[in-house]
A and B are shown apart, each in its own frame.
Chain A
Amino acid sequence: MAKSLGALAFWLGVWAVLAVLADRPLLLPTPWAVAARLVRLAGTADFWHVTAVSLIRILLGAALGVLAGVATAVATGRSRFLETVLSPLLSVIRATPVASFILLVLVWVGRDILPCLIVFLMVLPVVWGNVSTGLAATDKQLLEMARVYRLGRWQIAKRVYGPSVAPYLLSACHTSLGLAWKSGVAAEVLTMPAFSIGRRLYESKLYMEMTDLFAWTAMVVTCSILLEKLFTALIRRLGRRRSMGGQET
């Protein structure tokens, strides 16, 4: 913790020195100017409204992407035909630049839905790939044991596959959170839905309000870090509950 704060202080110092030396607030505002602007923005209802809408949009896309990724991994794990049909699609989605997706999808759907859809498309292949690897890596000997003792499908899914795949899914969720923010905000910048962090970022750039641009960026970074911490804490809590057991009654 102390080390992280030290590193943060170091980079803030570098930023401050560069800003003071450049002395061009229009290009590079000082950290204290950005902090002051952020405090002022945080005092307005619009700031929280915009942040909340962007957050919901991005989290909804990510959650749907996770659900679809898990479902697709299970389906392709069970059916060789589906795997053959869907695998090229996975490769194409992975290789397509996010900007191409945004511009393409913008033709088909409304700008309010688009960031959510883009996040969904970015998260899905990550989860699909990781969960597929987890399913394939499930210990065959444990599955045989489950077969001999005639555990039902649900029991096998819950007691054997679930815990085997969980580390792969968690790793995918962790990666997806960062990806979701980056792609979601990028989609908002290009499509500018009414209430969105992306629109505020674009407008800041358009009107050369660099302090605002930095303040909104700081908000995005803060949200991303907080979500990651929240997710890690949630996983730790779930892990503790699992290690404490958990019998059905």
Chain B
Amino acid sequence: MIRFDNVALSYGPKAVLRNVDLAIPAGAHVALSGPSGCGKTTVLTLAAGLCRPAAGTVRVEAKKIAYAFQEHRLLPWRTAAENVNLVLGDTAATMPQALHWLDLLGMADGADLLPAALSGGMRQRVNLARALAYDGDLLLLDEPLKELDPSRRDSVLALLREHAAGRTLLMASHDREETEALAEQVLVYRDGQFLSL
């Protein structure tokens, strides 16, 4: 369950969120939509506990949070497989599981490559594999299909949909196809608030 009450946040003089209220029940699949810079990523960051609101309260009830970041955030000195394995306990015993997730995302061939040797789309798939492998009960996805080539979108969407079943999903995207495929409810940014369509 995610609950935002009167949440406000500014970056310097720029107010990003103004008195935002959100109530996402456990198991719901919700997408945030709106123009760039409207605060979609900030909502995910607050939900993940990576920053605190300047005003208002954020309550998140989740045992484990899996977050597919917009900027991949892969350790540059670790291979794709090692990056996924990192969240699984980072042992030799968990490596087959990491490879399994990479395989599901069509990254079996790139498992031994460092992020610098991967394309943007491949890095995004490793980012997604890491989030899915973590098995969180809350799944935060920030522009999950960004940089993926069109031939992969359907299979990745299907995998995300299957994985999100029974979990709470909060995603940020301006891709309508992606939000319609994954979310039951789309909250659109209007005048500092995320409103239900």
A positions within 8 Å CB-CB of B:
141-142, 144-145, 147-151, 155, 159-160, 163, 242, 245, 247-249
> Do residues A151 and B92 form an inter-chain contact, with CB atoms below 8 A?
no
Say if the beta carbon of B91 comes within 8 Å of chain A.
yes
> Do residues A148 and B65 form an inter-chain contact, with CB atoms below 8 A?
yes
Smallest beta-carbon distance A148→chain B, Å: 5
A248 contacts which of B66, B75, B91, B130 (Cβ < 8 Å)? Answer: B91
Q: How far apart are the CA atoms of A203 and B69 in the complex, in Å?
A: 67
> Do residues A159 and B71 form an inter-chain contact, with CB atoms below 8 A?
no
Say if the beta carbon of B79 comes within 8 Å of chain A.
yes
> Given contacts A151-B86, A247-B85, A248-B92, is CB(A163)–CB(B77) below 8 Å?
yes
Say if the beta carbon of B3 comes within 8 Å of chain A.
no
> Do residues B77 and A242 form an inter-chain contact, with CB atoms below 8 A?
yes
Interface residues on B, range: 20 to 34
Please indicate the chain A residues that have their CB under 8 angstroms from the CB of B86 in the complex: 149, 151, 155, 159
* Residues B91-116 near A (CB distance < 8 A): 91-93, 95
> Do residues A141 and B71 form an inter-chain contact, with CB atoms below 8 A?
yes
B positions within 8 Å CB-CB of A:
48-50, 64-67, 69, 71, 73, 75, 77-79, 82, 85-87, 90-93, 95, 130, 134
Please indicate the chain A residues that have their CB under 8 angstroms from the CB of B66 in the complex: 149
- Please list the 4 inter-chain residue pairs (A to B) with the smallest Cβ-Cβ separation, ordered nearest first: A145-B73, A163-B77, A149-B87, A249-B92
Please indicate the chain B residues that have their CB under 8 angstroms from the CB of A155 in the complex: 86, 90
A148 contacts which of B50, B78, B91 (Cβ < 8 Å)? Answer: B50
